[in-house]
Chains A and B, each alone.
With several copies, the nearest count.
Chain A
Amino acid sequence: MHDAIDVATLLERSRRPECGAIAVFLGTSRDHHEGRKVKRLSYEAYEPMAAAALDALERETRGRYPVVSCHIVHRLGEVPITEVSVAIAVAAEHRGPAFEACRWAMDELKRTVPIWKKEFYAEGGEGWVEGTRLGP
């Protein structure tokens, strides 16, 4: 989870003869947040629990929507500005469910996976991004 995300491979794995649609979300490191200039971003995780939560989220997405595949990858450690921190690819017969499932998975990821983002500000200082309390 500490290397750059290989988006090309993620897309290759999502191409299926029975599918007409692949919806993809890429989260990228942004140079600002709530009015402050961000010079770098870093992610920390409870790695085994995060990996299990991502696997569970892939399965739950496939169970909840009429989609054929869902692949999710999250990068950890420093993610330079413009690089991809998270990638979700959902393949389906039709585009409606692909889009819906992809968006749902991303919202859910932010709510349920033990990963934390820290920002380092251009003017100095740093802060953990305000997040969501995990619920059992």
Chain B
Amino acid sequence: MSDSSTLTVTLLLFAQARERAGRSKLDVELPRGSRLSDALAAVERLHPALAELRPHLAVAVDRRLVAGDQVLEDRVEIALLPPVSGG
């Protein structure tokens, strides 16, 4: 549990992002008021190999694709989505 001055978000990593990080999921604790870009910067500090992929990623918050740099709620799920290739 995060105390009142922090929030915790879950990051989900898929495909190349998962392989570069060597994991599919991690929780990150951030100061309250943090934005999406802060969460992405935090995960890149932990897994620098992700940085190169960043320009190609789409990002979903709670399963919805987002474009802007929104302020994060506690407990949201942030997914890093490489270019898709289903079919």
Direct contact of A and B (CB under 8 A): yes
B65 and A135 within 8 A (CB): yes
B-chain residues with CB within 8 Å of residue A48 when the two chains form the complex? 63
**A98 CB, nearest partner CB in chain B, Å:** 13
Within 8 A of B (CB), among A25-42: 27
Q: A52-B63, A134-B58, A136-B66 are in contact. Are A46 and B81 (CB under 8 A)?
A: yes
Closest A residue, CB atoms, query B64: A136
Q: How many residues on the A side are at the interface (Cβ–Cβ under 8 A)?
A: 32
Partner of A110, one of B60, B65, B86: B86
Within 8 A of B (CB), among A44-103: 44-46, 48-50, 52, 74, 85-86
B56 and A116 within 8 A (CB): no
Complex Cα–Cα for A113 and B57 (A): 14
**A128 CB, nearest partner CB in chain B, Å:** 5
Q: Is B40 an interface residue (CB 8 A)?
A: no
**A34 CB, nearest partner CB in chain B, Å:** 13
B residues whose Cβ falls under 8 Å from a Cβ of A: 12, 14-16, 18, 56-58, 60, 63-67, 79, 81-87
A residues whose Cβ falls under 8 Å from a Cβ of B: 27, 43-46, 48-50, 52, 74, 85-86, 106, 109-118, 128-136
A-B CB contact pairs (8 Å), 17 listed: A45-B14, A46-B14, A46-B63, A74-B86, A85-B87, A106-B87, A109-B86, A109-B87, A110-B84, A113-B84, A116-B85, A118-B15, A128-B16, A132-B84, A133-B83, A134-B65, A136-B66
